[in-house]
Structure 1
């Protein structure tokens, strides 16, 4: 039985030179945006470190369930009753959305889902 990594072979001719350059610029802008966000929110690093420490210590068989329970346990009581749809998530910059749409890159953003885009 052949091993499957879940990755397909690269199709180097799938994008034109212009699309490749736009994709490269999109990746650069995304990385810069992500870096700015992480620098403005150092608690993300702390949270991820705590989560990974717990995963390595407890070695759960179902990571998703473990994460859900851990997140639920960490939630402050005043937020426990809030529906996720009422939470505020800043949207991605419009140029990111447009570039991703042109390049057919799926973006997983609750804001975009609510906008139906």
Structure 2
């Protein structure tokens, strides 16, 4: 399985947060990455996404509660509410979009990150 070790989103100006309530998506600052894989001996496999960060609105949240990083497979949001989300697929190339949402605390200038691990399992 091939995935990027780091998915970097563009810098977000503070003005992008103006008027956004908690849970609102911050438009225009998404990033997409691909998972390329093959699971020998089967045509179907599962990707398991796991986060150890706190979870808010099904997204992986920063420790300071300023941002939520949300994952999408197409138009389907991966719900990390239990700190794990699963995609079943037969595709060898799967695109995942990362979006941002405003969290409960006011935005802070600086670098913010969360950690999500992706594993592959045969079905």
TM-score by length of 2: 0.19
Greater strand content: 2
Greater helix content: 1
The structure, 1 or 2, with the larger RCO (C-alpha pairs under 8 Å, 6+ apart) is: 2
User: Could you say which structure has the larger radius of gyration?
Assistant: 1
